[in-house]
Amino acid sequence: MRIRILKKFPTRIESVFFLKRVGCNQKVIEHSKTVSKYAVEIADICQKKRNINKQLVEIGALLHDVGRALTNDVRHAVLGAALIRAADFHEDLVNLVERHIGAGIPKEEARKLGLPPKSYMPKKIEEKIVSYADKLIRGKKRITPAEAINDISHKLGPRHPAIKRFENLDKEIRSLMDA
């Protein structure tokens, strides 16, 4: 009988290997590496004002889009969380992957989108940092918050509540980054 040891957090190398193993394409992997690098930069700055689990930020950002191995729609977060859970990774990683979408999605909106009816709003600061960094990376390119708002507006409409959620997230993270 083979005994599996629960790993709280995979390493960077193990995380990238996991992305490949479940079928993420190279574009998703490169995006995830870029988001991880930027999220860690943000966490380093925010660390001055708030205690941040940088391991959760780094590995969570690497794994945030793992569900894109299965779909590129909004369900990628829920499916990705299921993959993370099935791999026996820490529940904090499961939650981060599930809550990174759209600068958060409230329960009613999730129901309308066909997601399991619950809140997908980032709660922990680490979840917020990864969600924020993800919105500020287009492919492998860093963009401004204004460009991120334009992207959301173009995709979801100029009055979509995701715009206000991103603006609130931007304000919260920037307040932690200001010296």
* Count of domains for the chain: 1
Average pLDDT over all residues of the chain? 94
Q: In the chain, helix, strand, coil percent, each to 5? A: 65, 0, 35
Can you give the pTM of this predicted structure? 0.93
Residue 122's pLDDT band (boundaries 50, 70, 90)? very high
pLDDT at 89 over 80: yes
* Domain of residue 92, residue span: 12-177
Query: Cα(123)–Cα(128) distance, rounded to whole angstroms?
Result: 7
With respect to residue 138, please indicate whether it lies within any of the assigned structural domains: yes
With respect to residue 6, please indicate whether it lies within any of the assigned structural domains: no
Tens digits of per-residue pLDDT, 132-146? 999 999 999 999 999
pLDDT at 4 over 90: no
